[in-house]
Structure 1
Amino acid sequence: MRVKSKKLFNFPLQGTVDGDVAQFESSLEKEFVTGVGKLMLHKMEELSKTESEASDKEFAEMIRGMIDPFIKQVGTHPALQECGALTTETRFSVPTTHHTAFSVPVHVYTPNTLARNSHNAAYIYAHGGGGVASTAALAKPWLDYIAVKCGVVVFNVDYRLSPEVKSPNNVLDFYECLKYIHSNASVLNIDPGKIAIAGECGGGYICLGTMVLLAQRDETNIVKLAMPGMSLIDDYCFSPPCGMTREERRDVLSMRKIWRLRAADLDSQWDDPVLFPGKTSDTLLEKFPPTIINEVEFDMFITETSRLANRLRRAGRLLEFVVIPGAKNGSNLNPEFKCFTAWQSAVKLSIEEYLQK
């Protein structure tokens, strides 16, 4: 059955990066022209071209050393921290056995205004970081913000990262938590008919991989809304870079490395839609949950995201394809930039119109 879009969004694209984002990026680039920054970029490029367990581990640690401190710093912004005082955090874990015995930690952020309610909408989230870096704890400030502004209970899943854990096990961590939350809805004070799954960047990939599993297992009905954003989707980065956008071309080597970190055996998994959700068949796409794809105009994943959005629209499962103008990957999550307001407003309206009604 085809979903019905309310056609909430039609942002006119700019063709230029927002001035505040461009100025910030310019200041960062100056740090990597000389000295330690230049040496670090050179080292990452070398590691991207090397295939070995040692290079995988070193590359992952470098990515974590770059991304995690930056996320932590942005998360201290007052606009985000203020919402933390308006939520209550609890935790539980979901036991799994798909990659050794492991209990997946889940952080729960409940707005104080919803504490006495028993049928809240649920927003189950996979954090960003390319599936290699970051943690659920680092994503807390943004999820406190969503919980308070959107009036939802947020379940923040601390799925395992690559290269320590390979696909499909990182996706299965999230899938198992989704199944647990749905099965225990009454205990968790949520409405089992109002569950959304979401994530950005590597978390968007985790979200999409879970959508593939749901379609394969005919379990799509447990999710009312899926909201993957700025997602790693398919093997586009392995194609010749001459036809890519500037952002895609700039990150092509590191993205190839990240896919290799994620795959247990890239050659044998090349056509696996759990590893590459963009390779999902038309038949399975027709079984996807109702989907809103969130993007930014100058993302390194814009081409593969646009392709998937077109296929989902044709399959009758796309509610909205939201592209925030002038923004780049990550800038939309920084309250210092004007694109933050546009992104968060779009998320809020999507939740109100497609999840809570």
Structure 2
Amino acid sequence: MADAEAGSPPKTTRAMIAPELAPALELMPSFELNDAFIAYLRSGEALQSGFTQPPLSAEQQAVACEDRFVPGLNGAPDVRVLVYTPPGAATAPRPAFLHLHGGGYVLGTADLNDGSNRSLAHELGCVVVSVDYRLAPETRFPGAVEDGYAALKWLHAEAEVLGVDRGRIAVGGESAGGGHAAALAIYARDRGEIPILFQSLDSPMLDDRTGATSDPHPYCGEFVWPPANNRYGWKALLGIEPGGPETPYGAAPARVADLAGLPPAFILVGALDLFLEEDVEYARRLIRAGVPAELHVIPGGFHGFGAAGLGAPQVQTTLRLRREALARAFAGL
């Protein structure tokens, strides 16, 4: 009995968090997703007490941001996008990055990544288009992915006006946005209309079975985004209980059998993130399907550890790896 207890996982994984990231966890709110909480977040009261963005640096302010609306797909409402253009006159068409924000499929807006999208545009000299896709549960799958595809079609069609190279369009996002980006890559591949150069997936939400029907990881998912919230997010997106055989094709990228022909991928995830195993497995399957995939696991990282800021070496590493991967893709390397 003593041996079994000695070999059992700890009751909390707090001691496994990287010391540089631990202070940020104390500042991150703990919440349980449910219908009442979502209703509050959609209310005017919640909007009035919303998140305040940190001040922009001089480099970020130099990037122009334009609020646009593009035609929705298949008669859907127009899709709001934020278009970020780096300063200075371009000597040649620029690469472009189509960004999808995180939020568990039920939260968030394109504005939340304003600072990071400005930084990306400035550092890589690329146009960034951030998609304000429709949220669940008000809009079920495939609404958000179709909004992403509508933005992709517009970006491709308006490439000359935007100063964009059609052959160098990448997609990406964080958490649910990473899941939507992976689903968008599959959606675009299946239609064969618009080529995607690269997909950048930061802690992507890929598999509705995680926390629902799959064997839980003993050390992952305790903080920020636990299994209960994951089940809620997936149920909101699908309109059915997650993890079952009725999950529609393309909603959960991890459940798509054929991954051949997808764009090369960059995948990064924290070692304590609920999405660890689904992300590692997705990278393995991409490679198995002949798709170049770069995988990074950050020791001691929980979901959303980027909130620790630039003072944490893990955040510095994450930003550098992501930036370098995109730069290589844009350079054709």
Task: Specify if TM > 0.5.
Answer: yes
Distance 1:138 1:132, change over 3 A: same
User: Which amino acid in the other structure matches residue 324 of structure 2?
Assistant: L
Q: Equivalents in 2 of 1:151, 1:97: separation in Å?
A: 29
Could you say what secondary structure the match of 1:105 adopts?
strand
Is 1:256 matched with 2:237?
A: no
Q: Is the contact made by 1:212 and 1:288 (CA closer than 8 Å) also made in structure 2?
A: yes
Q: Equivalents in 1 of 2:50, 2:19: separation in Å?
A: 21
Could you say what secondary structure the match of 2:315 adopts?
helix
Is 1:163 matched with 2:161?
A: no
* 2:38 aligned residue (27, 37, 60): 60
Q: Specify the alignment match of 1:279 in structure 2.
A: 255
* 2:117 aligned residue (135, 140, 143): 143
Deviation at 1:270, TM superposition (A): 3.1
Q: Specify the alignment match of 1:18 in structure 2.
A: 18
Q: Specify the alignment match of 1:8 in structure 2.
A: none
Could you say what secondary structure the match of 1:238 adopts?
coil
Deviation at 1:241, TM superposition (A): 5.7
Q: Specify the alignment match of 2:7 in structure 1.
A: none
Q: Specify the alignment match of 1:91 in structure 2.
A: 67
Distance 1:228 1:240, change over 3 A: closer
Distance 1:277 1:63, change over 3 A: farther
Q: Equivalents in 1 of 2:173, 2:113: separation in Å?
A: 11
Deviation at 1:112, TM superposition (A): 0.5
Q: Is the contact made by 1:248 and 1:301 (CA closer than 8 Å) also made in structure 2?
A: no
- Kindly report the root-mean-square deviation, in angstroms, between the aligned alpha carbons of the 2 structures: 2.8
Which has a greater percent of helix?
1
Q: Equivalents in 1 of 2:120, 2:163: separation in Å?
A: 18
Deviation at 1:177, TM superposition (A): 0.8
Is 1:107 matched with 2:82?
A: yes
Q: Specify the alignment match of 1:335 in structure 2.
A: 310
User: Which amino acid in the other structure matches residue 251 of structure 2?
Assistant: L
Q: Is the contact made by 2:73 and 2:147 (CA closer than 8 Å) also made in structure 1?
A: no
Q: Is the contact made by 1:272 and 1:279 (CA closer than 8 Å) also made in structure 2?
A: no
User: Which amino acid in the other structure matches residue 38 of structure 2?
Assistant: A
Is 1:237 matched with 2:215?
A: no
Is 1:270 matched with 2:243?
A: no
Distance 1:176 1:242, change over 3 A: closer
Q: Specify the alignment match of 1:185 in structure 2.
A: 159
Q: Is the contact made by 1:83 and 1:141 (CA closer than 8 Å) also made in structure 2?
A: no
Q: Equivalents in 1 of 2:326, 2:216: separation in Å?
A: 38
Gaps of 5+ in 1: 1-14, 33-40, 48-55
Could you say what secondary structure the match of 2:299 adopts?
strand
Q: Specify the alignment match of 2:147 in structure 1.
A: 173
Distance 1:323 1:64, change over 3 A: farther
Aligned pair count reads: 312
Q: Is the contact made by 1:71 and 1:138 (CA closer than 8 Å) also made in structure 2?
A: no
TM-score (norm 2): 0.84
Q: Is 273-282 or 244-253 further displaced after alignment?
A: 244-253
Could you say what secondary structure the match of 2:161 adopts?
coil
Residue identity (%) = 26
* 1:152 aligned residue (120, 126, 129): 126
Q: Specify the alignment match of 2:6 in structure 1.
A: none
Q: Is the contact made by 1:335 and 1:341 (CA closer than 8 Å) also made in structure 2?
A: yes
Gaps of 5+ in 2: 1-14
Q: Is the contact made by 1:209 and 1:273 (CA closer than 8 Å) also made in structure 2?
A: no
Is 1:122 matched with 2:100?
A: no
TM-score (norm 1): 0.79
Deviation at 1:306, TM superposition (A): 0.9
Q: Equivalents in 2 of 1:293, 1:242: separation in Å?
A: 21
User: Which amino acid in the other structure matches residue 316 of structure 2?
Assistant: T
Is 1:347 matched with 2:325?
A: no
Deviation at 1:17, TM superposition (A): 2.2
Q: Specify the alignment match of 2:12 in structure 1.
A: none
Q: Is the contact made by 1:128 and 1:200 (CA closer than 8 Å) also made in structure 2?
A: yes
